[in-house]
Chains A and B, each alone.
Chain A
Amino acid sequence: AQSVSQHNHHVILSEAASLELGCNYSYGGTVNLFWYVQYPGQHLQLLLKYFSGDPLVKGIKGFEAEFIKSKFSFNLRKPSVQWSDTAEYFCAVYRGGGGFKTIFGAGTRLFVKA
């Protein structure tokens, strides 16, 4: 069965620190990859997505992610976090070629100390 793994469940950083959140998936075929963010009290919104092309994807609010096909990974990065980045981050994978399902990881709660 397809699975999506996010390695860090809770991350605490100080403002201006760099961020990297890991995401790995278990399916080897064609995939669409997403990172969503859920700010406190709000619903999920898209940070960035990768379908094909340049494996380094830039999203909103200074976030970027790199698709490494050989490692089945799609890690999220930000060079300098802000207090307003405090949120829960979800990696999601859509498996092409059948199934029509987008599967989410368990999420990573990020707390940024001011």
Chain B
Amino acid sequence: NAGVTQTPKFQVLKTGQSMTLQCAQDMNHEYMSWYRQDPGMGLRLIHYSVGAGITDQGEVPNGYNVSRSTTEDFPLRLLSAAPSQTSVYFCASSYRTGDEQFFGPGTRLTVL
């Protein structure tokens, strides 16, 4: 099992550019989520999904879109990057909602 994988590991964008952060899991987990980690603020939930075709907003959803067309994949789209989106992004999955989450290695994003 690869667990939770994320690509890319690092990315630099210019303000206004768009991009997609990829996340995949091979554990047949029902629940997937995206967090951003900023110094002094812990992990903040951006979006989550309780199954294929079902997504919902977390604490800080503005500027991000998600979709869940398959159980395995949960991409995060930045529509028009802003410097405030400079952060480390973690994808996570769990077997069921409310269970222990397994985290990916993260994507470090810098927006200039």
Q: Which residues of A contact B (CB under 8 A)?
A: 6, 9, 32, 34, 43-46, 49, 90, 92, 94, 96, 100-107
CB of A90, distance to nearest CB on chain B (Å): 6
18 A-B pairs with CB atoms under 8 Å apart are: A32-B98, A32-B99, A43-B90, A43-B104, A44-B103, A46-B101, A90-B43, A100-B56, A100-B97, A101-B45, A101-B48, A102-B33, A102-B45, A102-B101, A103-B45, A105-B42, A106-B41, A106-B42
CB of B32, distance to nearest CB on chain A (Å): 11
A29→B13 CA distance, assembly (Å)? 42
Given A43-B90, A107-B42, the answer on whether A34 and B50 have CB atoms closer than 8 Å is no
Contact A45 B103 (CB under 8 A): yes
Q: Which residues of B contact A32 (CB under 8 A)?
A: 98-99
Given A34-B100, A43-B106, the answer on whether A101 and B42 have CB atoms closer than 8 Å is no
Q: Which residues of B contact A (CB under 8 A)?
A: 31, 33, 35, 40-45, 48, 50, 56, 58-59, 90, 92, 97-101, 103-106
CB of A24, distance to nearest CB on chain B (Å): 14
Nearest 9 A/B pairs, CB to CB: A106-B42, A104-B43, A94-B98, A44-B103, A43-B103, A107-B42, A104-B42, A32-B98, A46-B100
Instruction: Choose one: B40, B98, B106; the contact of A102 (CB below 8 Å).
Output: B98
Contact B106 A104 (CB under 8 A): no
Q: Which residues of A contact B98 (CB under 8 A)?
A: 32, 94, 96, 100, 102
Contact B90 A9 (CB under 8 A): no
Residue of B nearest to A99 (CB): B56
Given A32-B98, A49-B100, A90-B43, the answer on whether A104 and B50 have CB atoms closer than 8 Å is no
CB of B62, distance to nearest CB on chain A (Å): 16
Q: Which residues of B contact A94 (CB under 8 A)?
A: 97-98
Instruction: Choose one: B56, B59, B104; the contact of A103 (CB below 8 Å).
Output: B59
